[in-house]
Amino acid sequence: MAAQEVATGKVIYHRLHPTRKEEDFLVFIEGTLEALPPRAEVIILADQLNTHMSASLVEWVAEQTGFSGNLGKKNYKGILKNMESRRTFLEKGEHRIRFVYTPKHCSWLNPIENWFSKLERHVIRYGNFPSVEVLERKIEGYIGYYNRCLFKAVNWKFKGFTKGKELRSINYQ
């Protein structure tokens, strides 16, 4: 997992871990926020993976943002009831920590996915890694090198989809 600051293009936090469970993502988000100025307004762009809308993440965001309402109970009622209600809470614009989710099958809209593509092309594709530890060291080294030499601000031009408007395909004949 990795977080990129779009203003600079640098990877500000990453976590190499063998799993991507709910608790792993929460640890990642906590580490990412620690890398930023305290009380900063943060917008996190993520895909719609279940762990990105977990009950523990909602509880943590509620605590960090000073939410004093009732969160309810997971799978029963309130904000924690289901993924849709949790997503709605995490997307609230008035929170200083807010999530924006890419449409399904559109994770390519997330600039960090382009960074992962560079990591794959520069390090992993033709690499030879006799152990997980060697692979992790190569990734760590690449992140350091990238942040020193390759980073550049993200010039993100996507304006978003219009809700309810069908996407047209272009017929090139």
| pLDDT < 50 positions in the chain | 169-173
The whole-number pLDDT of residue 105 equals 82
Q: Is residue 11 part of a domain?
A: yes
Single pTM value for the model:
0.85
CA distance linking residue 22 with residue 90, whole number of Å: 15
CA distance linking residue 13 with residue 35, whole number of Å: 7
The whole-number pLDDT of residue 173 equals 47
Q: Which residues pair with 14 in a beta bridge?
A: 2
**Residue written as tokens 């976590």?**
15
CA distance linking residue 34 with residue 28, whole number of Å: 10
Per the CB < 8 A criterion, the answer to whether 122 and 142 are in contact is yes
Report the number of distinct structural domains present in the chain. 1
Q: Is residue 173 part of a domain?
A: no
The whole-number pLDDT of residue 172 equals 46
The whole-number pLDDT of residue 154 equals 83
The whole-number pLDDT of residue 87 equals 96
Q: Is residue 114 part of a domain?
A: yes
Domain membership of residue 146 as a residue range: 1-157
Say which amino acid occupies 19. Answer: T
Q: Is residue 172 part of a domain?
A: no
Q: Is residue 33 part of a domain?
A: yes
Q: Is residue 168 part of a domain?
A: no
What distances in angstroms separate CA 143 from CA 45, 124, 171, one per listed residue? 20, 13, 41
